[in-house]
Amino acid sequence: MKNNEVIAAISTPVGRGAISVVRMSGKGSIEIAKSLFKNMPEKANELKLGRFNGENFSDQAMCVYFSSPRSYTGEDMVEFQMHGGYAVANAALKTLLNNGCRLAEHGEFTKRAYLNGKMNLANVEGVMDIIDAESVTAAENGYKMLTGALDGKISELQDKLTDLLAQIEVALDYPEEDLEYVTKEQIKDALSEVKQKTQNLLDTSSKGRIIKNGVNIAIVGKTNVGKSSLLNTLVGYDRAIVTDIEGTTRDTLSESYVYRDVKFNFIDTAGLRKTSDVVENIGIERSKKAVENADIVLLIYDGEKVDGEYEEIAKNPKTIKVFNKADIKNHGNDVLSVSAKTGENVEKLKEVIYEKIKLGNISSSDVMITNARHIDCLNRALQSLDRANEVIDETLDCISLEIREGWQALGEITGATANEEVVNRIFEKFCVGK
């Protein structure tokens, strides 16, 4: 973990509230604030109303800064008081992260305060509470559920880098062995593979995308189970052509609706059935695509006549099973019965969708990066690997230095350190020594 960078975090609890506070600490934080905040206070300790101009958003906010050493951490610090809610604070944080900050580690503001000699009994009192609160939040966000799979992915990347480093290091530590030492070409190839995989993982970081673009929800089901009616009810007005004739929806339709602080993008799809109609066939293909690309799938059953349909989709973790036509037949409380016609339980469905997003269960691939700290670590890893590529013509010790930095950035996610792993790998893979 580097202690010299500007760190940022949302320091109010995640959830709904009147305001949310986003803060930065470190040398350079005031400059970053100046570049993003219109009407920056002229003096330290002065609260000013102005505008936070973020990426794809702009919002009224208050800003105050503190000059080193007279701040909580003892460093230059800036606080933004944003409008409450999940989306605004996150968008602001994301802007900061893209403008030279990195996300603060667990308890890092406190740690810096301590390292800079700023801790006193008064602020210590609250810190244990914060630590507790933070872990509760982490649990709520489904962090633990995700970490298993994520650790796997990260370990896979680290494993590749460990291999690569072991190949480089064995050349440095055992220069006189009868080995085929690694070539620059091999280093390049390995780097580009790991970089691609890191990028792929980063691409799944749809939290930002969800904040910006909303969550994609595909509505699928057999023909004429009431998908289009449900869409209309969900968004509150007639959008889709609804008829009793099977296969009315021949194209995918999409419509957005903001529920609480998240934008839902509903995608109505053509019913899945075999058909000879060319136009409808195209529609069905599009439906399949929509399912693939969706963050959440609403699989609609005709509550009147349920049979084992679409087992594959039903098993997908991103699927929510919905039984329509509750007005005709109610399936009890064990399943989600709604009525597109009467609106019964439609609000509940929205809440179910919302909870699923909050739990981090949305997934368009097996693993998805949702944690901004992870995004930050992956980004830094990628940057280090890029630099390693840039210095490929330099000597091996320099290349190694950059790759190690990449490894360490990944290690911040899993809590492992490179040195031992690399040394172990050398002995596993190479026959070295006198």
Partner 1 sequence: MDNNFEFDTIVVGAGHAGCEAALAAARLGKKTLVMATNLDTIGYLACNPSIGGTAKGNIVKEIDALGGEMGVNTDKTLIQLRMLNRGKGPAVHCPRAQVDKYSYHSEMKRTLEKTPNLYLRQAECAEVLHDDKKVTGVRSAQGLTYHAKTVVLATGVYLNSRIIVGDWTNDVGPNGFSNAKHLTKSLVEMGFDVRRFKTGTPARVHARSIDFSKMILQPGDPDMPPFSYLHDSVENNKYDCHLTYTTAETHDIIKSNFHRAPLFSGAIKGTGPRYCPSIEDKVNRFADKERHQIFLEMEGLDTDEIYVQGMSSSMPAEVQYQIYKSIPGMEKVEIMRDAYAIEYDCIDPTALYPSLMYKKLDGLFCAGQINGTSGYEEAAAQGLVAGINAAMYIDGREPLVLKRSDSYIGVLIDDLTTKGTNEPYRMMTSRAEYRLLLRQDNADVRLTEIGRKYGLVSDERYAVFLKKKEETKQINEILEKQIKPKDFKDLFERKGETVINNALKLKDMLRRSNITIKDLQEEYGLFGGFSKQALEQVEIDVKYEGYIAKEKEQIEQFNKMENKKLPDDINYDEISGLRIEARQKLNKIKPQNLGQASRISGVSPADITVLIVYLAQNKKGE
Cα-based angle 256, 259, 261 (whole degrees, multiple of 5): 110
CB of 140 to partner 1, least distance (A): 17
DSSP letters, 24-59, are EESTTHHHHHHHHEET--SSTT--EEEEEEETTEEE
CB of 169 to partner 1, least distance (A): 4
Stretch that binds partner 1, among 8-16, 126-134, 239-247, 314-322 (CB under 8 A): 126-134
Chain-centroid distance, C-alpha 285: 29
Q: Which of residues 344-403 bind partner 1 (CB under 8 A)?
A: 393-398, 401
Task: Check whether the bond before 69 is cis (ω within 30° of 0).
Answer: yes
- Of these, 55, 151, 173, 327, which contacts partner 1 (CB under 8 A)? 173
Choice between 119 and 291, CB closer to partner 1: 119
Residue 214: left if φ>0, alpha if ψ -120 to 50, beta else—which one?
A: left
Comparing CA positions, the residue from 398, 358, 405, 418 lying closest to residue 379 is: 405
- Of these, 143, 174, 257, 259, which contacts partner 1 (CB under 8 A)? 174
Bridging pattern class, strands 101-103 and 6-10:
parallel
Q: Which of residues 245-274 bind partner 1 (CB under 8 A)?
A: none
Q: Which of residues 275-334 bind partner 1 (CB under 8 A)?
A: none
- Of these, 165, 242, 388, 409, which contacts partner 1 (CB under 8 A)? 165
Comparing CA positions, the residue from 362, 372, 351 lying closest to residue 215 is: 362
401 burial type by CB count under 10 A (0-12 exposed, 13-18 middle, 19+ buried): middle
CB of 382 to partner 1, least distance (A): 18
Choice between 173 and 309, CB closer to partner 1: 173
Choice between 174 and 354, CB closer to partner 1: 174
Burial 323-349 (b: 16+ CB within 10 A, else e): bbbbeeeeeeeeebbbbbeeebbbeeb
Burial 96-114 (b: 16+ CB within 10 A, else e): bbebbbbbbbeebbbbbbb
CB of 72 to partner 1, least distance (A): 13
Stretch that binds partner 1, among 148-156, 173-181, 207-215, 323-331 (CB under 8 A): 173-181
CB of 123 to partner 1, least distance (A): 8
CB of 351 to partner 1, least distance (A): 33
Choice between 165 and 298, CB closer to partner 1: 165
- Of these, 34, 106, 188, 273, which contacts partner 1 (CB under 8 A)? 106
Question: Tokens standing for 240?
Answer: 């889709």
124 forms part of the interface with partner 1 (CB under 8 A): yes
Q: What is each CA distance from 311 to 248, 265, 299, in whole angstroms? A: 23, 24, 10
CB of 402 to partner 1, least distance (A): 9
- Of these, 145, 172, 258, 314, which contacts partner 1 (CB under 8 A)? 172
Which residue has tokens 């940057």?
Answer: 383
CB of 184 to partner 1, least distance (A): 12
- Of these, 128, 136, 282, 328, which contacts partner 1 (CB under 8 A)? 128
169 forms part of the interface with partner 1 (CB under 8 A): yes
Stretch that binds partner 1, among 105-113, 185-193, 262-270, 293-301 (CB under 8 A): 105-113
Comparing CA positions, the residue from 107, 84, 87 lying closest to residue 95 is: 87
Q: Is 195 helix (H, G, I), strand (E, B) or coil?
A: helix
Comparing CA positions, the residue from 250, 196, 218 lying closest to residue 378 is: 196
Query: For partner 1, what does the binding mask look like between residues 176 and 215, x meaning CB under 8 A?
Result: xxx-------------------------------------
- Of these, 120, 148, 278, 312, which contacts partner 1 (CB under 8 A)? 120
DSSP letters, 370-428, are --HHHHHHHHHHHHHHHHHHHTTTS-HHHHHHHHHHHHHHHHHHHT--HHHHHHHHHHH
Stretch that binds partner 1, among 50-58, 114-122, 242-250, 257-265 (CB under 8 A): 114-122
Size of the site for partner 1 (CB under 8 A): 48
SS3 content of the chain, % helix, strand, coil (to 5): 45, 20, 35
**Rule CB under 8 A: which residues touch partner 1?**
1-4, 105-107, 110-111, 114-115, 117, 119-121, 124, 127-128, 131, 165, 169, 171-178, 393-398, 401, 415, 417, 419-420, 422-423, 426-427, 431-434
